[in-house]
Copies of this chain bind each other. A is one copy, B any other.
Amino acid sequence: MALASDPDALVPAARDGDRRALARVITLVEKGGPEGRRALALAFPHTGRAHVVGITGAPGAGKSTLTDRLIRRARGEGTEVAVLAVDPSSPYTGGAILGDRIRMQEHIADRGVYIRSMASRGHLGGLSAATPRAVAVLDAAGFPLLLVETVGVGQAEVEIADRTDTTVVVVNPGWGDTIQAAKAGLLEVGDVFVVNKADRPGVEATVRDLEQMLDMGGHRPWRPPVLTTEATADAGIDELWAALVAHHRHLVDSGELERRRAVRLEDELRAAITVTVEQRTMRSAAGDAYRQAVADVVARRVDPWTAAARLLGE
């Protein structure tokens, strides 16, 4: 095996600060396969230290600019930061059409910042199946802060909350984003709400609407704050930073951090079991019995569930 793709050489190098090795390890875990699994197995024991922050909201809400400002804020404190930008790409063409990443290029010369784009590859819900694996690698590489930015709408935002410690929901002034966030279930999953583009009219009404909707949810141990930012003017970033720090402290002190992570890891184990079993079943079912079952279903002689049960000998 060439050194360039040997996980046993690459993972320690990535943990020692070799950024090219880090990039290769992420590529390996993105691809899956035996090398990716080996890389993940090597990285996994070193995970669990980073504060993983999801930044989500509708397209155009200003998530990339906010992420950019948070990077600067983190660097101002000497904190190293990694960014995973998950792009929704067409499941049919495979092509991502967004160019927001360009804005972040100024950080490229800074070794304390690592930025990686990932395509969502048509995985339902928008978050690539590879995203939690890439988060694990960056966590193991020692970044104390991970920002996971999803461009997308709907269920993707709900899914991201299961993968991050702190979820930041970004909306703009006006009713549109707010009602869309409510419909997508974001009110329940957001830990910090940001009304960005606070120079636009309607910001007070939007803050009030969000506060009222959050109050309807009843008492919770952490009442999500509603902040205003004008990311392009660097306004409100200190308050957002303070909210992220406060939420992290709340998670640690309340034991919620450990609880959330345990739930997430059990989910990942179950997903791994399911995929492993499915692959095995499809291999063993690839023969004549499976082809016959498909033919029976397509001819509508038997429904899919009955055919599945028969195929599996139930």
Contact = CB atoms under 8 A, between A and B. Distances in A.
A277 B277 contact: yes
Interface stretch (A105-113, A153-161, A249-257): A153-161
Interface in A279-314: 280-282, 285, 293-294, 297-298, 300-309, 311-312, 314
Given A159-B124, A185-B91, A189-B92, A294 B306 contact: no
Interface in A51-92: 59, 88-92
B154 A155 contact: yes
Contacts of A124: 124-125, 155, 159
Nearest to A124: B125
A272 to B, nearest CB: 4
A115 interface: no
A117 interface: no
Nearest to A258: B298
Contacts of A152: 154, 183
A308 B269 contact: yes
A243 to B, nearest CB: 21
A97 B37 CA distance: 42
A88 B261 CA distance: 27
Interface stretch (A38-46, A204-212, A222-230, A233-241): A38-46
A4 interface: no
Copies in the complex: 2
Interface centre among A98, A268, A269, A275 (most CB of B within 10 A): A269
A313 B88 CA distance: 36
Contact of A88 (B122, B125, B154, B156): B154
A48 to B, nearest CB: 6
Nearest to A274: B278
A180 B153 contact: yes
A314 B276 contact: yes
A16 to B, nearest CB: 20
A232 interface: no
Contacts of A245: none
A271 interface: yes
Given A40-B305, A45-B300, 15 more contacts: A43-B303, A47-B300, A90-B185, A91-B185, A92-B188, A126-B155, A153-B153, A154-B156, A155-B156, A266-B297, A269-B308, A274-B274, A277-B278, A277-B281, A277-B312
